[in-house]
Structure 1
Amino acid sequence: MVTRKLLFTGLATFVSATVLSQSAIADSREDIEARIQALNTELYQLRQQLQQIEAPEDAAQGIEPAPLPVEVALEDLSERRQLEQESSRNPFAITTHRTNYLFPISYNTNQNVENFRSITDDVQPDSGEVKFQFSAKFNLAENVFGDIGDVYFAYTQRSWWQAYNTDASSPFRETNYEPEVFIDFDNAWSALGWVNTRNRVSFIHQSNGRSDPLSRSWNRVYLESTFQSGDWALTLAPHWRVPESDSDDDNPDIERFVGYGDIRLAKRLQNNHEFAGQLRGNPSAGNYGTQIDYSWPAFNGVRTHVQYYYGYGESMIDYNHRVHRLSLGFSLNPLFSATGLNR
């Protein structure tokens, strides 16, 4: 057992020390790829030694041991980085950003009747509607700080469509537009079995594109850090709101309901099932928003997806209105993919 602990500690120390020490001397893509190959070779050798110590009978039969949490995280990091490098070689490559989903069934037990009157005075909003999100990013520049720092432009659009409300001509009840520019810093620092796989600094604008009195918008700068341990992932994303003048501020109290950041914990389960829980809110005001997602493979890369939301901040128009929603549909990009682990 002592030997196992020493090997595990040596593995984590080796990975973090090697990545950090050699990052300063990597001059080209070939250097990075060669370093990754060397790391993979060393990881395999250490795993073989551990296998021989802890399970000699299994080793004799050629049975592979389960990968260590740090190893799983580094493999996911390597896969994501390789995909981004390949896409960057194509000047027209666009990759997924946040989760892309379509929920034909989305039922909210507490619709915002007052704001729906701006669309029609005669018809109430249906509790059932269609919710969907499209999100993509485009690489603008690579390695802006030596051999780290990739700059992206991303766009996310999320809509709530009263598709089944034919009495009101099936209007779009709300659409949120989110362009952003961010810098990603891949990382491999590890501690206590957790690897800080990525850090991101972003400027994001979010609005619903409507005129007064239903206009909602704000600008933010956020710092997002992702930590992974095996099949667990934790994302911390505090944000700072860019100040606006009182005359231009459509929603001066939005932080009272949405708070100052998001926290998400995700788990990869058997057979590529995924679970994620996200929390936002303002504890001092007693206002929270909670989202729970569960998805599993369906067919041809499409996943069946169930989403539950309760609380404030689901959309711009409902930032101060408590939502209680259950949605069922499909999503495309899993969280634990090369382009996943985005909120």
Structure 2
Amino acid sequence: MVIRKLPFMKRVVLLGLITFSTSALADSQQEIEARIRALNAELYNLRQQLQQIETPEDVGQGTPFEPLPVEVAREDLSERRVLEQESSRNPFSITAHRTNYLFPVSFNANQNRENFRYISDDSDVDSIELKFQFSAKVKLVDELIGRYGDLYFGYTQRSWWQAYNTDASSPFRETNYEPEVFIDFDNAWEAFGWVNTRNRVAFNHQSNGRSSPLSRSWNRVYLESTFQSGDWAFTLAPHWRVPESASEDDNPDIDRYMGYGDIRLAKRLNNNHEVSGQLRGNPSAGNIGTQIDYSWPAFNTLRAHVQYYYGYGESMIDYDQRVHRLSLGFSLNPLFSATGLNR
């Protein structure tokens, strides 16, 4: 060996270095193994503690907590709750309520020409107009009823503007004002693969702010329940109309056309595309209104949006008129937003 050829003293020094290095490596290896065993013990203890956690008292429910699917809990419950709590720290902060959109091109093949004569008798109504919706809400009271019963005030305004009808001085053909007060209950109830993410109880007023003979209004109480399963969402919103006296009722037959609630089914597609279908009306009277929305990311925060409506109940002035409308434009907030399912 090469070591035997070295002088005696050099061999002693070299063997000492080798022995010292081997001993040091052995000590280091033992220390590393000891640390690994300690970490494994800590992880085991932590796992045991997590398995023993029960949350009836924390959640405020009387039954054991059942975890949600990961994607539902992450995207539609936890994130929404965090954002709502963050906004509540700023008193009277305003957040999106329903979908905010602008349709520069909205074509209706069956405009209500009779009612337009009360707005302008100098020109006929255009088939192409501009349609937009603004919707916002503000939290009034946090945890009013239980841990998740939050009180809100919401406001939605939807307008149909004859912007290109210069012969009639570009009037607003119709505007619907919709203030409401509601309580939202965020939930985590799961059945048959669907999670009831939210229930809403609301008092809703809707009118077009016109005088007779174009005045239309009603008051409602509705219960809206939202269910989600992965990228699917289903919303059921039955309503009850608050009775009015015959002398003050501008539209006594509105239930015959608007029915007793809305049903909506939505799907989130690849690349953040979204499609939804909404049904309203009174099937027993043969009066149905259907709406289909499709949107996808366009640029920055804007989403390209296509909306199709056929049937009754699109607006207050046309609640008893069959509408056949195709609208093209943009929306600001997606249907599956972090603040909940919009409509």
How far has the Cα of 1:192 moved from its partner? 1.0
Q: 1:74 maps to which residue?
A: 73
Q: Identity across aligned pairs (percent)?
A: 78
Q: 1:268/1:220 Cα in 2 relative to 1: closer, same or farther (>3 Å)?
A: same
Q: Secondary structure at the match of 1:143?
A: strand
Gaps of 5+ in 1: 1-16, 26-38, 44-68
What is the TM-score with the length of structure 1 in the denominator? 0.81
Question: Counterpart of 1:264 in 2: which secondary structure?
Answer: strand
Aligned mates of 1:220, 1:146 — CA distance in 2? 24
SS at match of 2:82: helix
Residue 20 (structure 1) shift? 5.6
Aligned residues of 1:19 and 1:188 also touching (Cα < 8 A): no
* Superposed displacement of residue 92, structure 1: 3.5
- Which amino acid in structure 2 is aligned with residue 330 of structure 1? F
Residue 137 of structure 2 contacts residue 153 of structure 2 at CA under 8 Å; is this kept in 1?
yes
Q: Which runs of 4+ in 1 moved over 3 A?
A: 17-22
Q: CA deviation at 1:19?
A: 6.2
Q: Which residue of 1 aligns with 2:58?
A: 22
- Deviation, structure 1 residue 340: 3.7
Look up the SS of the partner of 1:309 in the other structure. Answer: strand
Q: Distance in 2 between matches of 1:244 and 1:161?
A: 30
Cα distance in 2 between the residues matched to 1:223 and 1:302: 31
Given the superposition, is the C-alpha separation of residues 19 and 194 from structure 1 closer, same or farther in structure 2, using an over 3 Å criterion?
A: farther
- Name the structure 1 match of 2:9: none
Aligned equivalent of 1:318: 318
In structure 2, C-alpha distance between the alignment counterparts of 1:70 and 1:93, rounded to whole Å:
31
TM-score, normalised to structure 2's length? 0.81
Matches within 5 A, 1:86-235: 86-235=86-235
The 5 A counterparts of 1:261-276 are 261-276=261-276
Aligned pairs, number = 288
Q: 1:18 to 1:136 in 2, by over 3 A?
A: farther
Q: CA deviation at 1:335?
A: 1.0
- What is the alpha-carbon distance in structure 2 between the residues aligned to residue 22 and residue 88 of structure 1? 21
Name the residue aligned to 1:237.
237
Quote how far apart the aligned CAs of 1:145 are: 1.8
Q: Compute the RMSD of aligned alpha carbons.
A: 1.8
Distance 2:339 2:162 in 1: 31
Give the CA deviation at 1:146. Answer: 3.1
Give the conservation status (yes or no) of the 8 Å contact 2:336–2:342.
Answer: no
CA contact 1:99–1:135 (8 Å) conserved in 2: yes
Aligned partner of 1:308 in structure 2 is 308
Distance 1:123 1:335, change over 3 A: same
| SS of equivalent to 1:284 | helix
* Higher Rg: 2
| Map 1:11-90 → 2, pairs under 5 A | 22-24=58-60, 70-75=69-74, 76-90=76-90
